[in-house]
Amino acid sequence: MSTLRKILVNKDKHCKSVWFMRQAGRYLPEFRKIRSQNPDFIELCLNSELSSEITLQPIKRFNLDSAIIFSDILMTPYALGQEVKFIKDQGPELSDFNTERFLDKKEKEFSHKLNPVYKAIEKTRKNLDKDKSLIAFIGAPWTLLVYMINIKKNKNEINFNKLNQKDININQILDKLIKFLCIHIQNQVNAGADIIQIFDSWAGLLPENIIKDYCFVPNAKIVEFCKKEKIPNICFPKGIKEKYEDFNRIVNPDGINLDYDIDPLWVKNKLKDVVIQGGLDPKILLKSEKEMLEGATKYIQAFKDIPYIFNLGHGLLPETDPDRVKKLIEFYRNN
């Protein structure tokens, strides 16, 4: 059993485990070389050989404890019939949402479109040491919904008027999304993944009166499925601040990833019966080595006597120096 699974399944506080969100990405020159030759991001995610190679790049370079499959949360809406493009310096752009086409999507067709992702997981598992976990992931229903019906005005604001249009039955869409996300989880596990992380990147944009219905309850249904199938899971409801406590109580995940806006000492006092992961601000890797190591020490010390997975409060930034990542890993393992 990998150290990551020992922590999540057995709540083993003596195990050390480190991996980073976006560890397979733009800060690595070996990734940039592949990316420069493959401009279509969705096609790159569907290239099983290259996806597996990219997944293993940070493992080869840093000997991290876990690999996370190179893919994207928007592969789900892609498989459900929407065109997905990544516009340079702007981010993802999805074709108009068609409710009828979405609700008519069949399970077999959905799985077939994502088969290259599952093949990449199979290839990666064969080339990954048995003592290392292979993490797969999904976007949480709310976060996917934000992209699918294009309701984000900017990084900090949702167009709730569009969300409340009469021709959009949010509960019906969320239920269908949950169904297909659980299929995607099971397919990834069947292919060789042994941990699932659930990214709710836009949870922090939900107001108090609907966060339970759009964030807590959908995440809880997916975690319930994972627990029924004995799949270790980690939730990342980014930006919800003190609502992490309600999230943990209602959703009851195996692990919960912190963002960098939460005080780790508050977390230690408030979040019970859950494995803590992450928290360190990825921007600190751009500062001096002294500041980086002081920041890491804050989290290491805060969680030294409870089950903890060392990670970040968001993904590694493209401008990060790989040598800094190496020093951070070595520092954690020596402390």
Residues marked active site are found at 22, 26, 35, 72, 147
Residues 6+ away with beta carbon under 8 Å from 292? 284, 285, 324, 327, 328
Q: How many helices (H) and strands (E) does the chain have?
A: 17, 11
Measure the CA–CA gap between 57 and 84, rounded to whole angstroms. 25
Residues 290-297: contacts with CB under 8 Å, at least 24 apart: 292/324, 292/327, 292/328, 293/327, 293/328, 293/331, 296/328, 296/331, 296/332, 297/335
Furthest CA-CA distance within the chain: 57
Angstrom CA distances, 26 to 57, 110, 235, 240, 320, stand at 11, 29, 24, 27, 9
Element (H, E) at 119: helix 115-127
In one-letter notation, the amino acid at residue 15 is C
Q: Is 202 helix (H, G, I), strand (E, B) or coil?
A: coil
